[in-house]
Amino acid sequence: STLLPDFTGYAIDNNSILLTKRLSSGSFGVVYRAVSLKSRLVKEYAVKCLLNLDPDTPRSEALVREVALHVTVSDHPGIVTIHDVVEGEKFSFIVMDYCPGGDLFQASVARRLFRWNDDLLKQAFMNIIDAVEECHRRGVYHRDLKPDNILISKDGKQTWLTDFGLGTFDMISNEHHVGTPSYMSPECLGKDSREAYLTAHNDIWSLGIILFVMISGEMPWRRAQNDDSVYRDFRRWRTFSGHPVSTEAETLLLRIFTQDPTRRISLARLREEIVKIKTFF
């Protein structure tokens, strides 16, 4: 993103959308807040700006794949809507819904929005499950599920999944270490084995880490491999003592955090078990 100029005050799409404020930047692009100039009602957007690369480069192929993955599921109410992709000579702009409530990481860790609020946590997490379940139903596997990639309404009741930049249409993948290390499953990290892994099972592991963060405001470990002493202790004792996690929530988390991915709880069962939980704290 250091190769991108500052587009604040720049109009795109035949002067119909004005970029007003830089919101965030990642390794491959910058996201701006934007406003529609041509609609009678003020409509706000989030616009992701990306540098166009040679079409044959891996990054260019990845951008095409990101848009294809996102568009495949964009009409689901729990996924950020893509309205348009504006392609210029040097830069491309992905026009999406703007969500002013921030992301789930800020809500869970900085604002502690879900602390002691079982109903709100349950509602938000079930929304996330529904979005991921729909992705999987349509053959889209996210591979970078984390609170930073889930936008949230100010009251915490609605969530929207975003950023499909590391996603795949492949049910089985040989690409290890894809995603954010602290949210990756052991089989995706590929430290102990370099075998191909099931991308849906990897997403379910990531959901377990997200649930833990929503409950406790903390990470359970740095990464799920044996050179992490906290994870090693967890594998030995199978408990989260010292964290504000209820017994019933812990029991469910243990069904997510299985070393053997084929024994991991399914998304459908995960949703059923979340409904049953009386308290997460």
The residue from 13, 103, 130, 144 that is catalytic is 144
Strands 159-161 and 17-25: unpaired
Give the burial string for 224-246 (b: 16+ CB within 10 Å, else e).
bbeebeebeebeeeeebeeeebb
**Catalytic residue flag (residue 144):** yes
Strand partners, 166: none
Running DSSP on this structure, what letter comes out for residue 162? -
Distances (CA, A) of 47 to 18, 32, 44, 266: 10, 5, 10, 34
As a whole number of angstroms, the distance between CA 120 and CA 101 comes to 15
Contact call for residues 207 and 213 (beta carbons, < 8 A): no
User: Catalytic amino acids?
Assistant: 144
